[in-house]
Amino acid sequence: MHFTPSLLDLQFVLLLCGLGFVRAIWPAQHYVVLGALGSALLIGFASPKTLVVISAITVCYLYPLHRLMRVAQGRQWPKAVQRLLLLTGIGGLIAFLLLFKVYRHFTVPWLGSPWLRADILALIGFSYFIFRAINFLYIQSIAPIDEKYPWGILYYTLFPPTLTSGPIQRYQDFKRQLTNPAPISGALLRAAGYRITRGYFRKIVVAFLLNEAVLTMLAGEITFVNSVMIIALFYLYFYYDFAGYSDIAIGYGLLMGITVPENFKKPFLATTVSEFWRNWHITLADWFRDHIFIPLGGMQGTKLRAAILAFVIMILCGFWHGLSLCLFIWGVWHGTLLATEAVLGTKPIPPALRHGPKYWFRVLWTNARVALPCILFLPDPQILQVLRGLWSLRIV
């Protein structure tokens, strides 16, 4: 019997806790091997197809490419060749991601067999895996990395707490902890217990109640006030659902001795959309900044270049969530807001001035612009339903 590898699945959670406590008696010098084999065993029980695909790409693609890049650096091959290796490797990973995204939504004529579609649909956390894999290749052009064996890479790509929905950890931060994972202690167990408990409360209780409230309101007559409330409640649902999951992942990461990066930092108090995205799904925003914005000159170019890159990144972020017209519009909306702030040079309100009517108006204005396009994640009929309610301006 197979089960879904989810931090809400009891079997998955029990196995993950078991793996966390086994490391307390495991020889510290072999921690990486335990992590890799334990993660593979756990993911294999949960989703064999996911284990096979991610392990195959890691061991047969990422690891050999890494060794080749190390040879190129060690023997001082021409920089153009080294850069070609990096771009080719990343290009291959992007091709894997496109195949996964496109084939999940459309029928590709030359890949039309039912078994293949079923296999692709069964993969768990593949998008997050590709982002981590790209980071692993990219960081080698900045910092020296020499993995003689594939254990550390495999542990990184299969790390169970963050496999399905992140946070997206940088490889250099993950690797730094492999030689000195946090030991099991009372303080660690209390910290992990707090994050896990808070996460489950946010996701199972608060997010569930918010979702039920949205569904109840959508089932009734939609007025202007109801539409506004639906948008606000759905906006809060996204936060508590995803922030709750991130808390759970961070807590279970502590049990494994790995500090998982934070994904949220009071985003509702942001005074610009740019600040909001720096504080919401932080690891995803950092990934786009590190791998697209900065390499293409976003930090050193003109305001116009920064605006164009911000717009393109939000389009890509929309498509990363799913290939649909609604999510393209979502990307255009946020891309336009970020591009406008980049051109105008709009800055967040400094900490010392965060009080009074002006500050709270900026907070409300920022959240209103971010919350509105959240309805684009609803089914099409319900999107139209909410928009008609907003357009009607009818209070009751």
Q: Does 317 map to a domain?
A: no
Alpha-carbon distance 34 to 26, whole Å? 8
| 247 within domain boundaries | no
pLDDT in tens, the chain (396 residues): 344 556 667 777 787 778 877 887 887 778 888 889 888 988 888 888 888 899 999 999 999 999 999 999 888 889 999 899 999 999 999 999 888 887 766 655 555 555 555 666 667 888 999 999 999 999 988 877 888 889 999 999 999 889 888 899 999 999 989 888 888 888 988 999 999 999 999 999 999 999 999 999 998 888 888 999 999 999 999 999 999 999 999 998 998 889 999 999 999 999 999 999 999 999 999 999 888 888 888 777 788 998 999 999 999 999 888 888 999 999 999 999 999 999 998 999 999 999 999 999 999 999 999 999 999 998 888 888 888 888 876 554
Strand (E) or helix (H) holding 11: helix 10-22
Q: Contact at 8 Å (CB) between 387 and 214?
A: no
Identify whether 70 is part of a domain: yes
What is residue 261's DSSP assignment?
P
Q: How many residues does the chain have?
A: 396
Instruction: Determine, yes or no, domain membership for 223.
Output: no
Q: Distance between CA 211 and CA 236 in Å, rounded?
A: 9
The number of domains in the chain is 1
Q: Is 124 within the bounds of a domain? A: yes
How much is the pLDDT for 2? 42
Q: Is residue 254 part of a domain?
A: no
Residue 125 counted as domain residue: yes
3-state secondary structure of 280: strand
Q: Which domain holds residue 120?
A: 10-178
Is the residue at 111 inside a domain?
A: yes
Contact between residue 160 and residue 16 where contact means Cβ atoms under 8 Å apart: yes
